[in-house]
Amino acid sequence: MRRILAGIVVAVTMAGGAAAEPGAVLSSGAKPCGDFVAAPLEDQWRYEAWAVGYVSGQNSMDVGSMRNVGSSWTPDSVMVWLQNYCSQHPLDDFATAADKLRQELAAQEGRLPQKPSALDLAGDAEKGKEVYAKQNSCGLCHQVGPGAKNLIGPELNGIVGRKAASVADYALYSAGMKKLGEQGYVWTEENIDKWIADPKAMIPDSPMALVFQGLPDAQERADVIAYLKTNQ
């Protein structure tokens, strides 16, 4: 019976929403770490989401954005880290804890093996053409080659070395992609590799990221990039 009651209290508290919003309180730097440790688990997750957004610089509640800063971290390990830190430093404000987490991640990132990059591999354009045309792969949304038109995604002729968001008659660029273009971001092989490995890590709300998971296999990415280069 107690547990049922506790459940109802939690549900009501969560429905209350605004009062427990950590971002607003935390950005003023006023919320001590001790409050985080003492908070019910449901609220701890909201702090944790805030910390992840803060650490990854994406202002995002999505733990997936942790991949930008340290691929071996999971929501659970972040939570444990924060609980440990805040138990030991209850009077620190929570933003300080998040800063320490950021430093910890940066230090660890140096020790972690680098994710394999397509740039270290020789790409095979013929194989790349196959990967491109696979079900639910690039060809679903992009045309490339003579007479290529925009589909769901922009045509990809000359993409290596092309500026981001620069196809004038393509109307569906996301705000994030347009911003990259305005900043002068260029689709070098390295940047294409990063983008197609995990589009969500770069622009979480890009329409490409919402549908396409990316190509985790570095060899496949090397092959696709080699294929794209045959259509410069």
Q: Binding segment for ligand HEC among 3-11, 35-43, 116-124, 172-180 (CB under 6 A)?
A: 172-180
List all residues 6 or more positions away from 32 whose beta carbon is below 8 Å from its beta carbon: 90, 91, 92, 93, 94
Residue 128: which region, alpha, beta or left (left: phi > 0; alpha: psi -120 to 50)?
A: alpha
Type of residue at 216: P
Full 3-state SS string of 74-105: CHHHHHHHHHHHHHHCCCCEHHHHHHHHHHHH
* The one among 49, 86, 215, 226 contacting ligand HEC by CB under 6 A: 215
Should residue 202 be labelled a site residue for ligand HEC when binding is judged by CB under 6 A?
Answer: no
Sites for ligand HEC among residues 131-160 (CB under 6 A): 137-138, 140-142, 152-154, 156, 159
| CA distances in angstroms from 186 to 41, 96, 211, listed in the order given | 43, 35, 23
Host H or E run for residue 175: helix 175-182
The burial class, CB within 10 Å (0-12 / 13-18 / 19+), for 82 is: buried
Give the DSSP H or E segment for 143: none
Which C-beta is closer to ligand HEC: that of 55 or that of 222? 222
Least distance to ligand HEC from the beta carbon of 217, Å? 11
Question: Cβ 124 to ligand HEC, closest distance in Å?
Answer: 15
Nearer of residues 28 and 135 to ligand HEC, judged by Cβ: 135
Q: Does 177 bind ligand HEC (CB under 6 A)?
A: yes
Q: Please say which residue, 27 or 136, places its beta carbon nearer to ligand HEC.
A: 136
- The least distance separating ligand HEC from the CB of residue 201, rounded to whole angstroms, comes to 13
Binding segment toward ligand HEC, per CB under 6 A, in 7-15, 63-71, 83-91, 171-179: 171-179
Binding segment (CB under 6 A) for ligand HEC, from list 11-19, 26-34, 95-103, 201-209: 201-209
Point out which residues pair with 32 in neighbouring strands: 93
Place of tokens 């490409």: 208
Residue 45's CB: how many other CB atoms inside 10 A? 16
Could you say which of 13, 174, 219, 231 contacts ligand HEC (CB under 6 A)? Answer: 174
The yes or no reply on residue 101 touching ligand HEC (CB under 6 A) is no
Question: Contact residues for ligand HEC (CB under 6 A)?
Answer: 137-138, 140-142, 152-154, 156, 159, 164-167, 172-174, 176-177, 187, 192, 195-196, 203, 206-208, 211-212, 215, 224
